């Protein structure tokens, strides 16, 4: 029996089992992806600022949307990198570079969106405080 036989290879049979695997994936991304840790720090700062500045419910929705769009794009970028590296066994391939660059571009676009949302919501409140 080789080591692959000890690992799950079929669909999850229970919701709890599926949730455990999902949480394992989240933990793995946080441990292994430096940029995800930066995104998490930025999200925490945005949440703290939102609470301190008493933003409206609609503004909270925009902040949370921005946070989760960035998180989702970073997860998809991580998947793209892992799958393409697996396919080419970590050898250079132009199409793999293209896939990785496009996935990274998606993360950048979502991060820019998040910054713009934060600026639109936070700058007027900050300016009203310092005036």
Per-residue DSSP letter, 8: -
Catalytic residue among 33, 74, 81, 93: 74
> Catalytic annotation on 74?
yes
Residues 64, 124: Cα–Cα separation, whole Å: 19
Give the list of residues 6+ apart from residue 88 with CB closer than 8 angstroms, or none.
96
The values of phi and psi at residue 12, to 5°, are: -65, 140
Query: Catalytic residue numbers?
Result: 74
């Amino acid at each position: 029996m080789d080591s692959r036989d000890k690992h799950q290879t079929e669909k999850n049979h229970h919701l709890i089992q599926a949730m455990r695997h999902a949480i394992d994936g989240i933990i793995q991304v946080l441990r292994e992806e430096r940029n995800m840790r930066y995104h998490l720090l930025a999200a925490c700062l945005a949440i703290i600022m939102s609470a301190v500045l008493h933003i409206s419910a609609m503004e909270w929705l925009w902040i949370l949307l921005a946070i989760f769009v960035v998180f989702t794009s970073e997860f998809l970028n991580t998947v793209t990198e892992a799958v393409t590296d697996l396919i080419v066994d970590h050898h250079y391939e132009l199409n793999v570079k293209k896939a990785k660059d496009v996935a990274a571009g998606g993360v950048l676009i979502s991060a820019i969106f998040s910054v713009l949302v934060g600026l639109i919501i936070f700058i007027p409140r900050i300016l009203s405080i310092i005036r």
